[in-house]
A and B are shown apart, each in its own frame.
Chain A
Amino acid sequence: DTAVSQTPKYLVTQMGNDKSIKCEQNLGHDTMYWYKQDSKKFLKIMFSYNNKELIINETVPNRFSPKSPDKAHLNLHINSLELGDSAVYFCASSAGIPNTEAFFGQGTRLTVV
């Protein structure tokens, strides 16, 4: 069973569209994250949720709206997609306490054309 799963794996869409990426973890973790990895492999945290509550928002444009219906799910909705949004988006989860590791999903490669 996959610990952190995200769908879809690939997403190609036109500028201006709205799209969603879904993430689910079956590890019982309290904390979930979204990271963006650009073409230079730089990983930047976007959001962090703890028990469905937003605790980190790293100056991400408000076109990006995370939603956590329960602590096992953290979805990412993106409005009015732009070319610069093209990247690989990773969902991750952790126990949210010090000295614990994060578990990552396989990533969603978003291409905006």
Chain B
Amino acid sequence: SQQGEEDPQALSIQEGENATMNCSYKTSINNLQWYRQNSGRGLVHLILIRSNEREKHSGRLRVTLDTSKKSSSLLITASRAADTASYFCATAALGGSNYKLTFGKGTLLTVNP
């Protein structure tokens, strides 16, 4: 069953603005991760937040996690045209010997110069 659901599906902003993407999920998790995918390329890991963490920063990225609401947000500050890509959240859960990453449908971010 699908875990993460991102919103919005698409987001268009101007360079310099902040971009916020949200992710909701349904079951218990070990951690939540955000990935970026440029058109025609593979996914690249951006940031991981553990289930016992509430906020994490990495450069211009800020991720929050609210396990009571089963939701996360990714904030990209001072966006650049090069940030244009699809962004996916992925929930990680460990059950027995299975460590499984389940992805949401992604948010397509367009940053206009």
Residues of A within 8 A of B (CB): 4, 31, 33, 35, 40-45, 48, 50, 55-56, 90, 92, 94, 96-107
Contact mask for chain B residues 77-99; partner A; CB cutoff 8 A; 1 contact, 0 none: 00000000010101010100111
A56 cross-chain contacts in B, Cβ below 8 A? 98, 100
A31 cross-chain contacts in B, Cβ below 8 A? 99
CB of B99 within 8 A of CB of A97, answer yes
Chain B contributes a number of interface residues (CB within 8 A of A) equal to 28
- Chain A residues touching B, majority SS: strand
CB of B50 within 8 A of CB of A33, answer no
Number of A-B contacts (CB under 8 A): 68
CB of B105 within 8 A of CB of A104, answer no
* Nearest chain B residue, comparing its CB with the CB of A30: B99
Which residue of A4, A42, A45, A105 contacts B101 across the interface (Cβ within 8 Å)? A45
